[in-house]
Chain A
Amino acid sequence: MQMRKLAIAVLVALSAVSTAAEKEKEQAKEKKLKACFIYVGPVGDLGWSNAHDEARRLAEKAIPGLETQFVEAVPEAQGLPVIDRLVQQGCKVIFTTSFGYMDHTVEAAKKYPDVVFAHATGFKRAPNLATYMADFYQVYYLNGLMAGALTKSGKIGYVGAFPIPELKRHISAFALGARAARPDAVVNVKWINSWFSPPKAREAAEALMVEGNDVLAFTEDTATVVQVAARKKIPSFSHYSPMYRFAPDYVVSGQLVHWEKVYIDFLGKVRDGTYAAGKVKDVDYWWLLKEGAVEMGAQPGMPINPKFTDALKKAQMTVGGKPVAVYDRVMDLLKDMSSPSPKFDPFTGPIKDRNGVERVPAGRHMTVEELNSMQWVAPGVMGPVADEPK
């Protein structure tokens, strides 16, 4: 009898302890935040989706209690079914990381009003749908300055993915930079109509070199152009991912992205209640050098390959009537545009397009909206450009 009472007492005590533990667990769960990511490509590649995935991992480290999940290689037409699944699995914040998911994300935001959505590179927002972008145009201008200083023939080759506003903006900024350093420089563009295609990137780069272009830059998801240029001992600019190690003697600089800056800020604000479903209608990240969302260089922490420092210090350009070394100009502008209140912007008027039509009046900057819908290209850009206004 005594034994039995004791056993019951022990059992009761044990169950009390376990319910307390469960309660604690539940409370912890409430404190937890689950953010989910949808990628258009495989995470293994060196490109777009890989950069988002690295940022996801950094955000997980930076925000305590953050749990993340991702789905890779999701075709753009499959956005909604994947979102359905993620919501069922308890995702409270969902990032859709490709432009093509835009309409599915808008639909999902209506369907799940309690979930916070954020769509990369898009322009449609809703009370629970924000947009975000880390843009390179400032970095492209700086890369252009260096390309203009390094070209001997005055011809710079560019392998472009698609003639869309994003690339027109980047290539135009690149050409404006090149012409600032060398007024007669041209940027010859070849389109490959693909985000990922090593053979197309290679053959386009080969064609550009045959035509006398002696510096190359590109938009494509592999380091193909960097490697092809290095074989012919031609300087090139890395794109998007760190590509320095593919050609340590020939990569000058490039563009690097830090999506984690956006993710950490966004999720931190969801966590503290600043952002919630119903509160993000006007949230649009357009993050640049100032916010640290992008970086100049072919490898983090190395803005310019030291192998090119001398050549860039020797190269002279004119700024406001005074001669300046290109190296100093690049570093000055980088510092300025990375500061809290930049004075310089590559798209400051007066700017005419390559057909001579004035696009940015004197003393004005382009707005984010104008930059996002830019169809014209700057003087110095050569080759056919689709959807160009006459």
Chain B
Amino acid sequence: MTQELLAAALRALSLGAPLLIAAVGAIANERAGVVNLGIEGMMALGALAAFSVAVEGHSPALAVAAALGAGMLAALLHAVVSLTVGANSYVSGLALAMLGSGVAGILGRRYEGFPLLDPVAEEPFLVAAGALAVGLWVFLRFTRPGLVLRSVGESPAAADALGVHVTAVRYGAVAFGGALAGLAGAFLSLSYRPAWTDGMTGGMGWIAVALVIFVGWHPLRAVAGSTFFGLLYYLQFRLQDQGRIPVEAFGAMPYLLVVLALALSGLRKARGSAPAALGIPYRRGER
């Protein structure tokens, strides 16, 4: 029994880790008021960057750095389009999701079918995921830069009046979000399933998007949310032949959760838990 529980906990943490890492990044940029739906694409680029570096024989640290860089670069593209040019950030993020997955698919052709014979251990990523979540919570709650970031997401005009460079803060937050999406990808291709395949992110980026709403933009709740999600995902297979619950019900669970998350977000918005300026471009002098 203990062994069984331990195994389930480990699976929950392992599958939850990429979700948590990506969600923590997304919470940071959404708390600064920028929506980035492109997590799936940034994750794919990060996964490919990490794998291509590792399979050429470089160290895991370099592979992770490449993933952080790839995710960050892709996110900066989103920042330019949505913050500087001022295009609709939802559309730009959607485009990034597709572009990132597509570009990774094309660039990654030469790595298809190659294994990483020395997979990176999962534990460092699990610890990093937890540390990032706690770190972001401390940063947002107890530090002045954290307060600045939140003020930019709640009331950019007021922050601007106090001398905060709103666009610069938002750029930084988006870059951070992208880097973490890339890191989540690195976990997938270096450790969780040490290989590269087109489409290997398998919708995890979208689940991370939903998770952010599900946990109400709270980094610590994201730890619980991602673990819960990982546990359900594992249990759909572990409980499959117990005969009590139909297989299809478990298969539908992730989607039910996403719908639930969206419904919750509707309620939450009414209560005001989302950053007030989320997704609204800021232009000095307008409004």
Contact = CB atoms under 8 A, between A and B. Distances in A.
Interface of A: 42, 44-46, 50, 188-193, 196-200, 202-204, 206-208, 210-211, 222-224, 227-228, 231, 241, 245-247, 382-384, 386
Nearest to B194: A227
Given A46-B112, A188-B241, A198 B234 contact: no
B234 A206 contact: yes
Nearest to A211: B238
A210 B2 CA distance: 12
A199 to B, nearest CB: 6
Given A44-B109, A231-B119, A382-B241, A210 B247 contact: no
Contacts of B194: 227
Interface string B178-206: 00000000000000111101111010100
A198 B202 CA distance: 8
A203 B229 CA distance: 13
B286 interface: no
Contacts of A42: 105, 198
Given A210-B7, A245-B114, A384-B241, 13 more contacts: A44-B105, A44-B108, A45-B112, A46-B113, A189-B241, A198-B202, A204-B237, A207-B237, A222-B195, A224-B193, A227-B115, A227-B193, A246-B115
Contacts of A207: 11, 234, 237-238, 240
Chain B interface main SS type:
helix
Contacts of A198: 192-193, 197, 200, 202
Interface residues of B, number: 32
Contacts of A50: 112
7 contacts: A191-B247, A198-B202, A199-B193, A199-B204, A203-B236, A206-B234, A222-B197
B245 to A, nearest CB: 10
Interface in B220-251: 233-234, 236-238, 240-241, 243, 247, 251
A383 B15 contact: no
Interface in B235-287: 236-238, 240-241, 243, 247, 251
Contact of B192 (A193, A202, A208, A386): A202
A30 to B, nearest CB: 36
A203 B237 contact: yes
B112 A202 contact: no
Contact of A197 (B7, B15, B202, B234): B202
B241 A190 contact: yes
A203 to B, nearest CB: 5
A245 B115 contact: yes
Given A44-B109, A45-B198, A384-B247, A203 B240 contact: no
Contacts, number: 93
A210 B240 contact: no
B4 interface: yes
6 smallest A-B Cβ distances: which pairs? A383-B241, A207-B237, A207-B238, A246-B115, A204-B237, A44-B109
Nearest to B234: A203
Nearest to A192: B237
A383 B109 contact: no
Contacts of B243: 384
A358 B193 CA distance: 42
A245 B202 CA distance: 24
A245 B116 CA distance: 10
B240 A223 contact: no
B4 A203 contact: no
A46 B105 CA distance: 13
A231 B14 CA distance: 15
A205 B7 CA distance: 13
Contacts of A206: 7, 11, 234, 237
Nearest to A386: B247
Contacts of A204: 237
Contacts of A203: 11, 15, 233-234, 236-237
A199 B233 contact: yes
Contacts of B114: 245
Contacts of B192: 198-199, 202
Nearest to B4: A210
Nearest to B204: A199
Contacts of B199: 45, 196
B171 to A, nearest CB: 32
B66 to A, nearest CB: 21
A200 B254 CA distance: 12
Contact of B195 (A188, A196, A227, A383): A227
Contacts of B113: 46, 241
Contacts of A228: 193
Contacts of B195: 222-224, 227, 246
A199 B15 contact: yes
B7 A191 contact: no
B234 to A, nearest CB: 5
B39 to A, nearest CB: 16
Contacts of B247: 191, 193, 384, 386
Nearest to B192: A202
B251 A193 contact: yes
Contacts of A196: 197, 199
